[in-house]
Homo-oligomer: A and B are copies of this chain.
Amino acid sequence: MAWFRTLTQFSVTKSSSIRPRNTNPFPLPTLASLAQFSSAPTHETPPVTQYAGLEPTKPGEKPRVVVLGSGWAGCRLMKGLDTSAYDVVCVSPRNHMVFTPLLASTCVGTLEFRSVAEPIGRIQPAISREPGSYFFLSKCTGIDADNHLVQCESVTDGADSLDPWKFKISYDKLVIALGAEASTFGIHGVKEHAIFLREVYHAQEIRRKLLLNLMLSDVPGVSEEEKSRLLHCVVVGGGPTGVEFSGELSDFIMRDVRQRYAHVKNYVHVTLIEANEILSSFDDRLRRYATKQLTKSGVRLVRGIVKDVKAHKLILNDGTEVPYGLLVWSTGVGPSPFVKSLDLPKAPGGRIGVDEWLCVPSVEDIFSIGDCSGFLESTGKPTLPALAQVAERQGKYLANLLNRIGKAGGGRANSAKDIDFGEPFVYKHLGSMATIGRYKALVDLRQSKEAKGLSLAGFPSWFIWRSAYLTRVISWRNRFYVAINWATTFVFGRDISRI
């Protein structure tokens, strides 16, 4: 078929002109790759044997910064990197950053999912345009610090997709910003039955399940007990995420469910389970205020420790069984098994250990920022909390540091030994915020739990909360959509299409 052959030839010719460097440096045998794709893919045992990748940068090319992860830390770093001095390669299983502080609002439709997701190509446009900069939809499977190499595996999903394959990337500088994982404290059944609230697909799952349960409970044949169970939303973990999600849920119930699901509105209930106190990092006064307001909105605050989670009920330490239709788990985070497995110095808690310049000692050219990293004990500094604020500040600091190193001629692998890194990273806490529903929020501007300082609660805080986040959303597009979503939620209510 002539037109199709022409198409293939055309593509081949073009490609060599747009990617003159780094194209197929470890070439694959064409026959092997053809064979791979003509046979039916088997997803159980992927034949991840071939290797390809990006070879070490050559003189005349820009040095390459490889960033593992696309969270707050990695994205803020990429945004600040001087792309005239460096090529940037990002390796992550998702092609966007999630604006996590607003994620809870998307679960009930106050905001739309796309309004809180920022494509990496918009954060650092060089990654989609520059011939030596890339985004690879992949996960890192190993780091070879001696050879300045990372091993990766492509991420594929969906029907008729490819089997994942492995490849290697040489780096001049490596930034590990892999974030953390939701902790389950080894409680049985959490991973199987609870939904976390860390990624956009979690929020999508929560929204779909909530709407499904609201509709199923109105179908004839559902018993009264089952109806109460289906519409019992349980949140485990009283940190800011759990509290904000509970507040959003109660807003949704009080406004939209009453109007759109009038038949079952009296069956919907929200329970927040926390082992200690809710919002433990906040000022006492704010905590009491939050407790009062949440209770007023119909959120049941229960002190308890979860022992076991089953498909339709969870069991507390005292043996109480709590039936649920939706279970959201947000009890904090810890390092992922991959981070734990890395042969690098470690900070207390299993995070990757860094010095005051966020540099991993004992290896060359490796840095680590965000929730996956922590100060080494030898620095005498405390482990910083796993907050977007910390990650963002570290990303910004490291971008400046790498730009400085690049300018001083230390951008290449093994060439920054004698360069002055300048001022070390110092974290100054700007305060914490959390919404609690019904146009109310908490703003705690104290620098630490013990320090004194301003703390506010109520509508003014809510206004500060909204304004602060609106200005912190990264792109103008999303800033615009967040404002529009808020306005339409106010005017028309939340959308209940289950799509």
A residues neighboring B (CB under 8 Å): 1, 3-4, 7-8, 10-12, 14-15, 18-19, 24-26, 28, 30, 33-34, 37-38, 40-41, 50-54, 94-96, 112-114, 117-119, 121, 128-129, 131, 134-138, 154, 156-162, 165-167, 169, 192-193, 200-201, 204-205, 208-209, 211-212, 215-216, 218-229, 232, 259-263, 266-267, 269, 300, 302, 311-312, 320-322, 475-477, 480-481, 484, 488, 491-492, 495-499
Least CB distance from A228 to B in Å reads 5
SS of A interface (majority): mixed
How far, in angstroms, from A30 to B227 measured CA to CA in the complex?
12
Residue ID in chain B nearest A324 by CB atoms: B160
A499 engages B114 (CB within 8 Å): yes
Cβ-defined partner of A11 (8 Å) among B30, B212, B215, B224: B224
Least CB distance from A467 to B in Å reads 21
Least CB distance from A317 to B in Å reads 12
Residue ID in chain B nearest A162 by CB atoms: B216
Q: A54-B220, A221-B165 are in contact. Are A117 and B228 (CB under 8 A)?
A: no
B18 engages A136 (CB within 8 Å): no
Instruction: Pick from A165, A209, A215 the residue with the most CB of B within 10 Å.
Output: A215
Residues of chain B contacted by A228 (CB below 8 angstroms): 7-8, 11
Q: A158-B208, A260-B128 are in contact. Are A224 and B15 (CB under 8 A)?
A: yes
Q: A12-B224, A28-B223 are in contact. Are A218 and B496 (CB under 8 A)?
A: no
Residues of chain B contacted by A166 (CB below 8 angstroms): 221
A3 engages B302 (CB within 8 Å): yes
Least CB distance from A212 to B in Å reads 6
B221 engages A50 (CB within 8 Å): yes
Cβ-defined partner of A499 (8 Å) among B37, B201, B320, B477: B201
Residues of chain B contacted by A11 (CB below 8 angstroms): 224, 227-228, 266-267
Residues of chain B contacted by A477 (CB below 8 angstroms): 488, 491-492, 495
Residues of chain B contacted by A95 (CB below 8 angstroms): 211, 215, 496-498
Residues of chain B contacted by A192 (CB below 8 angstroms): 159
A215 engages B495 (CB within 8 Å): no
Residues of chain B contacted by A137 (CB below 8 angstroms): 212, 215-216, 219
How far, in angstroms, from A320 to B7 measured CA to CA in the complex?
15
How far, in angstroms, from A414 to B377 measured CA to CA in the complex?
84
Cβ-defined partner of A261 (8 Å) among B19, B96, B128: B128
How far, in angstroms, from A226 to B211 measured CA to CA in the complex?
40
How far, in angstroms, from A224 to B13 measured CA to CA in the complex?
10
B311 engages A41 (CB within 8 Å): yes
Closest A-B pairs by Cβ, 4 of them: A52-B221, A96-B497, A14-B266, A117-B497
Cβ-defined partner of A117 (8 Å) among B33, B218, B476, B499: B499
B266 engages A119 (CB within 8 Å): no
Cβ-defined partner of A220 (8 Å) among B10, B52, B118, B129: B52
Residues of chain B contacted by A119 (CB below 8 angstroms): 260, 495-497
Residue ID in chain B nearest A488 by CB atoms: B477
Residues of chain B contacted by A158 (CB below 8 angstroms): 205, 208-209, 212
Residue ID in chain B nearest A300 by CB atoms: B3
Residues of chain B contacted by A135 (CB below 8 angstroms): 215, 218
How far, in angstroms, from A193 to B157 measured CA to CA in the complex?
14
Residues of chain B contacted by A157 (CB below 8 angstroms): 212
Residue ID in chain B nearest A12 by CB atoms: B224
Residue ID in chain B nearest A492 by CB atoms: B477
How far, in angstroms, from A91 to B11 measured CA to CA in the complex?
50
A136 engages B499 (CB within 8 Å): no
How far, in angstroms, from A261 to B122 measured CA to CA in the complex?
12
Residues of chain B contacted by A484 (CB below 8 angstroms): 484
Known contacts A477-B492, A480-B488, then 5 further A-B pairs from the complex at CB < 8 Å, ordered by chain A residue: A15-B224, A129-B262, A131-B263, A167-B221, A477-B488
Residues of chain B contacted by A229 (CB below 8 angstroms): 37
Residues of chain B contacted by A33 (CB below 8 angstroms): 222-223, 225-226
Q: A114-B112, A160-B312, A229-B37 are in contact. Are A138 and B219 (CB under 8 A)?
A: yes
Q: A18-B263, A137-B215 are in contact. Are A7 and B269 (CB under 8 A)?
A: yes
